[in-house]
Amino acid sequence: MKGFQNGIRQIKEAVKIGISSQSFGQAILFTTLGLIIVTNIRLINLIGQLDERLNTIDIKLERNSLQPFSPSPADSSSVIVDVSWQNAPVRGSLDAPIQIVEFSDFQCPFCKASQPILDLVLKKYEGRVLLAYRHFPLPLHEQAIPAAEASECAKEQNKFWEMHDLIFQNAQKLSNTIYDSFADQIGLDLGKFKACMSEHRYLEAILKDQKDGETYGITGTPTFFINGHMIEGSMDLLGFQEVIESLLTKTNP
């Protein structure tokens, strides 16, 4: 609007100049130039407004794409899924009454945010909770599969959780060349690790996890199965407590 008003003032000045010079031709020329200036200013303003709207749309789309699933509580009416975890890396007590199977992606920001919460859950319910990790690499994350392979190659040397933690801590820096450095940091036999990675030794197992997850109904990460009850999306400590306490009550009425 300010640009348009400035253009009008410029037209008026142009007309005054033409009239004062007593030249009709000059008046027409200056008036035409003024109209061109106004048109260009209005076009620039419109382009600026359009650019702002497009930026707003981009920001909204990006935010929406990063929204976690809404956690769905495990109640008595929910379907219980028989989820296998026997070949998965585990933390906690093997005979724990509460078994949490996590399907995760190393490049998923909500999976990363869930890790300290899971640490608190294991600490609070020590001896009563088992946590098993399974892979669900998402297609939009190019490092999801290489990171999963690195964790499995570390598992071969009994260092899965050390690699797991290091990958999540550096999730924004992942690249095909960084995993050797991680392996060195956690004290792996680098030669064996490199051979494992180059052979893609555990790729089939990772893809099986993904396929199993799809069979269980998983569409995104993180997804948890707590004693077979499906929880889609990240959940805070209170949410885990509510589910676990409810299931413990049923286990020990």
Domain boundaries in the chain?
Answer: 2-65, 90-251
Lowest mean pLDDT among 3-17, 51-65, 109-123, 151-165: 51-65
pLDDT range class, residue 250, cuts 50, 70, 90:
confident
CA 163 to chain centroid, in Å, comes to: 20
Give the model's pLDDT for residue 228. 96
pLDDT in tens, 97-132: 999 999 999 999 999 999 999 999 999 999 999 999
Contact status, residue 129 vs residue 100, Cβ threshold 8 Å: yes
Burial class (CB in 10 A: 0-12, 13-18, 19+), 241: middle
- Three-class HEC string of 180-234: HHHHHHCCCCHHHHHHHHHCCCCHHHHHHHHHHHHHHCCCCCCEEEECCEEEECC
Please work out, in degrees rounded to the nearest 5, the angle formed at the alpha carbon of residue 97 by the alpha carbons of 110 and 159.
55
CA distances from 25 to 18, 21, 203 (A): 8, 10, 80
Pairwise pLDDT comparison (207 vs 4), residue with the higher score: 207
Rounded to an integer, what distance in angstroms lies between the CA atom of residue 206 and that of residue 134? 8
Does position 204 have pLDDT exceeding 80, yes or no?
yes
Please work out, in degrees rounded to the nearest 5, the angle formed at the alpha carbon of residue 176 by the alpha carbons of 172 and 180.
95
Burial class (CB in 10 A: 0-12, 13-18, 19+), 64: exposed
pLDDT in tens, 214-244: 999 999 999 999 999 999 999 999 999 999 9
Give the residues across from 30 on adjacent strands: none
Give the residues across from 80 on adjacent strands: 229
Which class in CATH covers the domain with range 90-251? alpha beta
pLDDT range class, residue 33, cuts 50, 70, 90:
low
Residue type, 13: E
pLDDT range class, residue 67, cuts 50, 70, 90:
very low
Give the model's pLDDT for residue 10. 53
pLDDT in tens, 9-24: 554 555 455 444 445 5
Does position 50 have pLDDT exceeding 50, yes or no?
no
Please work out, in degrees rounded to the nearest 5, the angle formed at the alpha carbon of residue 159 by the alpha carbons of 157 and 161.
150
Average pLDDT for 147-174: 98
pTM of the model: 0.71
Give me the residue label for tokens 């769905």.
Answer: 72
